[in-house]
Chain A
Amino acid sequence: MSEEKSPRTLKIDVLRYDPNDKNDFPHIERFEVLEADGMTLYIVLNEIREHLDNSLMFDFVCRAGICGSCSMLVNGRPTLACSTLTSKLDAHITLAPLPLFKLIKDLSIYTGEWMRYLNEHLETWIHAKEEVLNFDKLEERMDPALADEIYELDRCVECGCCVAGCGTIQMKPSFVGAVGLNKVARYHLDPRDKRSDEEYYELIGDENGVFGCMTLLGCEDVCPKDLPLQSKIAYLRRMMMKTALKN
């Protein structure tokens, strides 16, 4: 005889604020939701919006930890709501929007603007440096192990968790953060990218780049995609030091 346990009542405290409403101010609102088997925070938030308060705002697209839209602070730590099971948490859960990014409303934030600036600033695309583009030319072959390594870093979904988990960037917002450094590491590995070490140094060889990282490892520990951020930042640090040495 299996014992049927009565479901928990989850107390969900949400930090709510609408910056466009002049009369609004940041405040915590509590919702109570009956827990179900296999429930994720994505389901909880939809439950709230459908049955308790349809004005609650939050972002979702894929529901499967792929798009990176639903990043938020869960009990103070950045993570993706859709891949967070309520069964792993206490019955009392606090939700807040990620800091640093532009707040749209409640849990909804605009990471796009920040990420776009970052990508433009770090030029996160292949610099083939061909004088004339030849679309008929076959792409150079790549060692599968290297392709895998690059692919591993390409899995970043720009959810912003590493940015919200980084103490350095909270204090010094001009720091590029793990998301930026990971992208640079990705292009630095890519043999199709013809940028020299010195050009990479120009991008991240300062205190807004890799030398600003204080190794708090918030990024490494909160990344929902388990990217090897700690070791890639260490790799870049060594590369940039070598570049400084040979110049």
Chain B
Amino acid sequence: MKQEKIDKVPAWLDFTQSATGLILALFIMGHILFEASILVSNELMYKVTLMFEGYYFFGETYPGIVSFLAAAIFILFIVHAALALRKFPSSYQQYKIIREHTTRMQHEDSSLWMIQVITGFMMFFIGSVHLYIMMSQPSNIGPYASSHRVVAEFMGPLYFMLLLAVISHAFIGLYRLALKWGFMEGKHPEISRAKFKLLMKAMIAVYIIVGLSSLGKYTYIGLTHDFSDGVKYKSQTIHMENH
């Protein structure tokens, strides 16, 4: 019996694309919520920032932790992008075929994939910009520093596009991931699929509303706050030497 060694790489590529996508999507779900702490108060957002800088674990802030996390996410992002690139239409002809196919079919899931391709492509660029800034300026995150970045450093439009792209991409991705691997399929896959789809749409709506509200708040602070004595936030309750 012929029994050559099988090439495991295609399986691992597929699995790694799914796994990195899953981690990134879960990360985004947390990210948007943490960032929305600004909607509660500047103080809470500041405390969330301190938490990620390790203040509640070490009693001192280490912005390097944020750099490290951003770098880790950047690596996952690059791996995911590289693997997803395999699925992109790679010539004008292929693009035309898939475009005509989705237009002709009027089939929601095929169109959702087109959204994945478009939002994924957008994020190659805008996602990279955001990640690099987080990596290189980890200490410039805070109620005022972030607001300053949104307004004075003109990151608002980029964040707006990134928000729409990343939220749609993440939840459409999670939906497709569940179907791809048969997650919680149950006895009636068509019913679980309909439920997942509804959940996906609801989550996209909720997260976009939350994300846009936070972005609105940062913009408001950026426009109204007096930045003449710097972008650092002065907490009422936590007093630190370096801050």
Contact = CB atoms under 8 A, between A and B. Distances in A.
Interface of A: 73, 76-77, 129, 165, 167, 170-172, 196, 198-199, 201-202, 205-207, 209, 211, 213-218, 221-222, 228, 230-231, 234-235, 237-238, 240-241, 243-244, 247
Contacts of B206: none
A216 B113 contact: yes
Interface stretch (B86-94, B124-132, B161-169): B86-94
Given A170-B97, A201-B6, A230-B179, A211 B106 contact: no
B7 A215 contact: no
B37 interface: no
B239 interface: no
A40 B224 CA distance: 67
Nearest to B97: A170
Given A205-B6, A211-B13, A228-B189, A218 B176 contact: no
Contacts, number: 101
Interface stretch (B38-46, B180-188, B213-221, B229-237): B180-188
A171 B98 contact: yes
Closest 9 CB pairs of A and B: A234-B182, A244-B11, A76-B104, A244-B8, A211-B14, A217-B109, A215-B180, A216-B110, A206-B10
Nearest to A94: B104
B240 interface: no
Contacts of A206: 7, 10
A237 B107 contact: no
Contacts of B97: 170-171
12 contacts: A73-B104, A77-B106, A167-B113, A171-B98, A172-B94, A199-B3, A202-B6, A214-B113, A217-B110, A218-B105, A238-B181, A247-B6
A238 B182 contact: yes
B148 interface: no
A167 B12 contact: no
Secondary structure at the B interface, as helix, strand, loop or mixed, is helix
A234 B176 CA distance: 11
A187 B102 CA distance: 32
A234 B179 contact: yes
A174 to B, nearest CB: 13
A38 B193 CA distance: 32
Given A77-B107, A247-B6, A170 B189 contact: no
A230 B181 contact: no
Contacts of A238: 181-182
Contact of A234 (B86, B94, B107, B181): B181
Given A214-B87, A234-B179, A234-B180, A167 B102 contact: yes
A71 to B, nearest CB: 14
B227 interface: no
Nearest to B102: A167
Contacts of B102: 167
A238 B8 CA distance: 13
With most chain B CB atoms within 10 A of its CB, the pick from A77, A211, A213, A240 is A211
A236 to B, nearest CB: 10
